[in-house]
Structure 1
Amino acid sequence: MWLDAPGGAAGDMILAALIDAGAPVERVRDVLDALHIGGWSMQQTRTMRCSIAATHVRFQPTGAHATAATATQPPAPAHSHAHTHSHAHAHNHAHVHAHSDGATTPPAPGEEQPFEDQPHRAFRDICTMLEAAPIPATIRARAVAIFERLAHAEARVHDTTPAEVVFHEVGSVDAILDIVGVCAALDALDVDLICCGPLPVGRGFVRCAHGRMPLPAPATLYLMEGWPTVPGLDRVEQVTPTGAAIWVTIAAATAPPEMVVESVGYGAGARSFDDRPNVVRAVLGRRSKPKPTTAVTTTLAQVDDMPGEHIPPLIDALLAAGALDVTITPCVMKKGRPGMRLEAISRPERADQVAHSMLRHASTFGVRQWQSHRTELERHHQSVETQFGPVRVKVGTLDGKELQAAPEYADVAKLARQHEVPTSRVYAAAVHAWHLLSPPSTSDE
């Protein structure tokens, strides 16, 4: 996947682009419902930005939240970015509010209303909420990694520690839904490589509760350290901290991948610019040249003093850091002590992040790494119909021949819960449906 930001990047724009490119919106809703936040509705509309058709996604407060949001919503700044700016503050830090450059106008039609009545949330509280939610581990790990990166940036701005950071706008309901929604959409699309392009950097100043603040916002600038940028617009916050955190966390590279384009999605911001489309563009594709053999880096450590309950969060952290696979193998260490062999494989460009994650989350004092090659089947997904509902099947091919087919467990588990049947029944039904669609060839050896 290639993500491009000609107009800027905010959480809702990225989510809208992924949905427009093919991420099933119901899968996203299911994950967001599992957070048990309540008081919101997801609205998806079609709009135009510089004559380009795009999807616009926004989260609206409902019920008592809608009443409070309407009562407390301040006028929108005339030149501000359409998206809520994300700030955080330490316990001893004053609240930081949305930017304004002085002149104000009524909110534009269809512009987002923030969840003003929501409490501020500490980074650790958001992590606790995500850990308690019955969502896939890969989605949880990626969301925690995004919030962790945000917490580190805000801690640097306010000279505190990530543990003490209390999010304001980032902790509001719509920002949490943006981040987890993006993670859910990426999980549903099941892409194996995400590349994100340069980010536009606005310039000038905007006014906020602390006076004139430079653009980009301080936290956004810390998040973009080491990331390529291009000149942006005057007095416009084109990239929010939430958007920047998502962008730099999910990306494995900054250059467009070599691929055959299969789907394109546009996610619109709430405002229109005169000289450029205010969109994020998501491009999905498959490798243009089959590359069954790829370079991978193995990161290894052995431990004999790590409690078993610490293993699941370690696996989540390694996957969020970019590991393609993680294995834990029992072993016997020096002096006959039972231990565990921790092994993660990743692409070489993510090897440092995986190593740092293993050092942070495991009890080891060091890791070993080496590069090798991995031979893979080409893969694609196909949906099959069963008596329980549709199930995606991952298909592996070699030289054009289908060799493997495996139903996606997330689809199987969801249908099993809905119909109150064992997962094995749904799995078997999906396999049977697949064989009816693709009978084995008599020429296969």
Structure 2
Amino acid sequence: MRLLYLDAFSGISGDMFLGAMLDLGLDFEALKQELAKLPVSGYQLTHERLAKSSIYGTSFDVQVAGGKDHGFVEHHHHDHSEATPHQQVAEHAHHHDHEARHLNDILALINGSDLSATVKQRAIAIFTEIAKAEATVHQMPLAEVHFHEVGALDSIVDIVGCCVALELMKIDDVQASPLTDGSGFINVAHGQMPVPVPAVMQMRVGTDIPIHQRLDVKTELITPTGMGIVKTLVTAFGPLPTSTPTKVGYGFGQRETGSLNGLRAVLFEKKN
């Protein structure tokens, strides 16, 4: 049994998770081949091994043509209710890939791909959790939620990529430390958001996910994508397992926090 333990001392995001998995030995070419099964284009994956605070780890990024969009957005969308899943996927393949997407668009895109059933199920669960949180925060029906932060191409690739990584690395269970977030505010397209950002706080409702807030870090450390991954995939929170670890990896974030911004991933091999 392979156990992945996430030491989220500086929060978690999709790119930090994938950076940590690559640092643990995830095959980058295999990851790209699996993600190519999504009917989308207009992105490039990059990774670099570098040192931060004299610790070596991996930085992962999804580079999107035209830049990245982050933040919730509301607008009208074409009605796909009469289209077949195949027609929907064909249409999505011609969409401008970093425009906002409706949740049903994303689910159709994933379901219409050749990804494995497990990857599809996990990715759909993560997107649905985030969409539910956004719907509650913005007082909208789930069917009307459109958002850049999750609908953007880079986030689609991040979330599906995380699910692919777990399958390629043959991870059986995911556990985590208590999470750490920052404080203060971040600026988004439609104003300021308090940290933890509203979608992250909403996803915490009704759960026992522990979050420690660092008052000295004035930015977001847990993204909605990161929280969606944790809420959907992590089975337990607590200290490091007492069994012997087999490998340690670090995935670096993009934010300047005044301290090490990274996610430590520890791999354990447990005898059944």
What's the TM-score bracket when you normalise by the shorter of the two chains? 0.7 to 0.9
Paired residues for 1:145-156 under 5 Å: 145-156=125-136
**Which one is further off, 217-226 or 12-21?**
217-226
Matched, 1:250 2:236: no
**1:177-223 deviation digits (Å, cap 9, x = unpaired):** 10011000001111221102222122222344444331111111112
CA distance in 2, matches of 1:135, 1:200: 32
38, 41, 44: which one pairs with 1:41?
Answer: 44
1:61-91 CA-to-partner distances (Å, cap 9, x unmatched) read 3xxx3xx33xxx7xxxxxxxxxx75x33444
Partners in 1 of 2:256 and 2:217 — Cα distance?
A: 14
SS in structure 2 of the partner of residue 262 of structure 1:
strand
- 2:115 matched to 1:173? no
> In the alignment, what sits opposite 2:114?
134
SS of match in other structure, 1:212: strand
What is the Cα deviation at residue 251 of structure 1?
0.4
AA of the residue aligned to 2:35? L
Amino acid at match of 1:277: L
C-alpha displacement of 1:152: 0.6
Counterpart position of 2:223: 240
TM-score by length of 1: 0.52
Report whether the alignment pairs 1:27 with 2:30: yes
Counterpart residue type for residue 135 of structure 1: L
1:264: which partner in 2?
A: 248
CA offsets per residue over residues 291-334 of structure 1, 9 Å max, x none? xxxxxxxxxxxxxxxxxxxxxxxxxxxxxxxxxxxxxxxxxxxx
3-state SS, counterpart of residue 163 of structure 2: helix
Aligned pairs for 1:255-294 within 5 A: 255=238, 256-274=240-258, 276-287=259-270, 290=271
Structure 1 residue 257, shift from structure 2 partner: 3.3
- Counterpart in the other structure of 1:349: none
- Measured in 2, the distance between the counterparts of 1:210 and 1:166 equals 14
Q: Within 5 Å, which residues of 2 pair with 1:297-308?
A: none
The answer as to 2:20 corresponding to 1:10 is no
- Give, in whole Å, the separation in 1 of the partners of 2:217 and 2:31: 35
Query: 1:148 and 1:223 mapped to 2: Cα distance?
Result: 11
Task: Quote how far apart the aligned CAs of 1:268 are.
Answer: 0.5
Cα drift, residue 134 of structure 1: 0.4
Alignment match, 1:54: 57
Q: Contact between 2:182 and 2:220, CA under 8 Å: does it hold in 1? A: yes
Within 1, Cα distance between the matches of 2:166 and 2:136?
29
2:140 is aligned to 160
More strand by share: 1
- What displacement does 1:119 show? 1.8
Offset, 1:129: 0.2
Matches within 5 A, 1:42-441: 42-61=45-64, 65=65, 68-69=66-67, 85=70, 87-91=71-75, 118-225=98-205, 226=207, 227-232=209-214, 233-255=216-238, 256-274=240-258, 276-287=259-270, 290=271, 378=272
User: Matched residues in 2 for 1:253 and 1:4: separation?
Assistant: 12
Worse-matched range after superposition: 184-193 or 204-213: 204-213
CA distance in 1, matches of 2:126, 2:266: 22
Q: Distance in 2 between matches of 1:27 and 1:49?
A: 27
Structure 2 unmatched ranges of 5 or more: 77-95
Give the TM-score of the pair, scaled to structure 2: 0.84
Q: Is the 8 A contact 1:199 1:228 kept in 2?
A: yes
Deviation at 1:258, TM superposition (A): 3.8
Residues of 2 paired with 1:178 and 1:130: CA distance? 13
C-alpha distance in 1, partners of 2:160/2:97?
20
Match of 2:93 in 1: none
Identity %: 37
Distance 1:119 1:272 in 2: 27
Whole-Å Cα distance in 2 between the matches of residues 277 and 168 of structure 1? 27
Quick one: which amino acid aligns to residue 53 of structure 1?
A: Y
**Residues 32-84 of structure 1, C-alpha deviation per residue, up to 9 Å, x if partnerless?**
111031111111101222221110011113xxx3xx33xxx7xxxxxxxxxx7
Corresponding residue for residue 396 of structure 1 = none
The alignment covers a number of residue pairs equal to 246
Cross-structure match for 2:86: none
1 or 2 for the larger relative contact order (CA 8 Å, sep ≥6)? 2
Deviates more, 1:40-49 or 1:137-146: 40-49
Counterpart CA distance in 2 for 1:180 and 1:150 is 14
